[in-house]
Structure 1
Amino acid sequence: MPPRTRAAEPTWHRAQPAPLVLVSGPESLLADRAVELIHRAMGAGVALTALDAGAYSRGALLAAASPSLFDEPGLVVVRGAEAMNDEFLADALAYAQAPDPEVVVVILHGGGVRGKRLLDTLRKAGVPEYLCPAVKKDAELVDFVRAEFERERRPVQAVVARRLLDAVGGDVSELAAACQQLMNDVEGTVDEESVARYYGSRVNATAFAVADAAIAGDVRQAIALTRHALSSGVDPVPLTAALAAKLRTLAKVGASRGRGLDPTKDLNIAPWQVDRARRDLRRWTAETLGEAIELVAEADADIKGGGRAPHFAMERVVRRVAQLAAD
């Protein structure tokens, strides 16, 4: 058997029934999806038994995997194998030597070293394993959102997925629920306005769009979005707030490089935000970033009462920040 790499692609979506199945990885939503696929593939009339490996009692696995009196196909789902007790380890090792071919036993392991002996035994025996790695990076989360819509044949553009990510955050379960609600409630194509209507005001959605365009150095798009927002009655205050927040994140992630800090653990920045910031930082230096932060602070003071033309101050700061990124 070739060496197994932990960087392998997620395979949960290929899950199929087998006498023994291992579903591994920390993303519980994907693990649940794998179990659903196996259950569905077994057809109707499946006798389902759920076990908890951490609160397991000796003999429960063998009892659950025993043939049904009515010859119903059996599915045994064992959760929490990453916290398995010694009783489960002993029974699972014994069962793995001769699994019942008429029953499907699925073991879910969320990661860690607990139960390594069992995992090694299952892998060495060639038991099919389906991976459910954590979905944390910005690109992974965007792909996840788009895949949720594609599963229902309701594809969305990447910008829509990013808007939903900005509004809901990086929790996969919450993102999946948000995608489902949008598909249930919105007829036709789900667009940016749909996301704004359900998961944040148009002001917030527009503010993030302006900030993204400016930080990416897209001067024309940033100005167009700013003018549209201001002409439609959006207050400039949330626009500067979004721009300031984006710049602060860039500064924190950039500074963490030289200080040996982990932005997620030490600065409490979500992994997907770190991933996006690192991509955006390719356009910035410490000097231009510092200048942009000062420009936004000055504009914020003008907009909140220090100046007489808040709309002009807003457009000017967006243009200057975008130009700094573009140069």
Structure 2
Amino acid sequence: MGGVTAASFAPILLVLGDEELLATRAVTEAVVKARSVDPDVDVREYQAGALVVGEIAEMLSPSLFGGRRVLVLRAGQDARKDLVAALLAYAKNPDPDVQLIVLHLGGAKGKAFADGLKAAGATVVPAAKLKGHRDRVAFVRDEIRRAGGKCTDDAAETLIAAVGNDLRELAAACSQLMADTDGRIGADTVARYYRGRVEVTGFTVADAAMVGDVPAALEALRWALHVGVDPVPIADAIADGVRTVARVAAAGRGDPFQLASTLGMPAWKIRSAQQRARGWTPEGLVEAMRAAAECNAAVKGGSDDRAYALERAVFSVAAARQGGAR
């Protein structure tokens, strides 16, 4: 590990957050880094709630025999007051041969401990759970990049739809994709790899129809009906897809985050609709809205063949886009 020296280590590392994968990864990377300098580094782990001051004093005190030490203190929010006081006092003048890694969930419990470590100059590694959809997309893309590959937003979206939101499962899926492909990950790659696992919804059908991809829309529609998706939400999704693109197109090519409050929808949905709006004309969107309305009337009005009504809507929406293409 070129460029890594004893002087480059943070004497105190505060891993702050409740996402187990990110916290575990931060500790692992710190230990690997320490061992790259000193393969014989002494690594010890403690649970803060079960630790007393006397037990940790020896580990933190200067060693007569030299050598690096890494002390991992888990569940720092559970540390008792006397231990917190001792560690904060130590943090003001840490031993350069010792790296103290404190894991803290980041909530209100034990907040004074985390704040004190920050004030003492601890290096903070964020490890909070990812709450937003865009954060998870960024996580997937970064996982692929870290492994030496490239991943599009669409591919990340498809992978999340197939695997779910758990970061451990997403990380494992990224690793598997990198092992089984050339590292250039597109939505088609993920769809082939996870065929049958991606949750097909009405929005899958609508998204494909709105970009004029009739084969993909029909495949998604037939699969959705085959696995028991009710025709009504599919018809609703087609109508919603057309309305969303029409509203976003009418708003112009503004920044999604600035348009979010005006349009009353999340920025990621606006960004996605802006991409699907390319190639549509106002006239084409009017035709698509008419087709979606007819589909809704047929599906909700008790048509004898609701599947046919949905397929006809797919063809009509795609034709409206092609007929109005510039």
Question: TM-score, normalising length from structure 1?
Answer: 0.66
Are residue 45 (structure 1) and residue 40 (structure 2) matched?
yes
Structure 2 residue corresponding to 1:176, chosen from 171, 178, 182 = 171
2:233 equivalent in structure 1: 244
Amino acid at match of 2:25: R
Q: What pairs up with 1:50-65 in 2 under 5 angstroms?
A: 50-65=45-60
SS state at 1:59 partner: helix
Amino acid at match of 1:314: E
Is the 2:21–2:167 contact (alpha carbons within 8 Å) kept by the matching residues of 1? yes
Amino acid at match of 1:21: L
1:136 equivalent in structure 2: 131
Q: Which runs of 5 or more residues in structure 2 are unaligned?
A: 1-7, 241-264, 278-287
Are residue 28 (structure 1) and residue 30 (structure 2) matched?
no
Structure 1 residue corresponding to 2:216, chosen from 225, 240, 247 = 225
Provide Cα deviations, 1:288-307, integer angstroms capped at 9, x if missing partner.
99x969945954897xxx53
Residue 155 of structure 1, CA deviation: 0.7
Q: What pairs up with 1:199-278 in 2 under 5 angstroms?
A: 199-201=194-196, 204=199, 209-213=204-208, 218-221=210-213, 223-227=214-218, 234=223, 236-237=225-226, 241=230, 244=233, 247=237
Residue 94 of structure 1, CA deviation: 3.2
Amino acid at match of 1:57: V
Moved more, 198-207 or 114-123: 198-207
**Distance change >3 Å, CA 241–CA 190, structure 1 → 2:** farther
Report the number of matched residues. 275
Provide Cα deviations, 1:237-261, integer angstroms capped at 9, x if missing partner.
459659827849x8xxxxxxxxxxx
2:159 equivalent in structure 1: 164
2:4 equivalent in structure 1: none
Larger Rg over CA atoms? 2
Name the Cα RMSD after superposition. 4.3
Q: What pairs up with 1:76-91 in 2 under 5 angstroms?
A: 76-91=71-86
Is the 1:240–1:300 contact (alpha carbons within 8 Å) kept by the matching residues of 2? no
Structure 2 residue corresponding to 1:146, chosen from 141, 148, 160 = 141
SS state at 2:94 partner: coil
Are residue 73 (structure 1) and residue 68 (structure 2) matched?
yes
What is the alpha-carbon distance in structure 1 between the residues aligned to residue 51 and residue 292 of structure 2? 58
Residue 175 of structure 1, CA deviation: 0.9
Q: What pairs up with 1:297-308 in 2 under 5 angstroms?
A: 298-299=298-299, 307-308=304-305
Is the 1:207–1:238 contact (alpha carbons within 8 Å) kept by the matching residues of 2? no
Q: Which runs of 5 or more residues in structure 1 are unaligned?
A: 1-15, 251-272
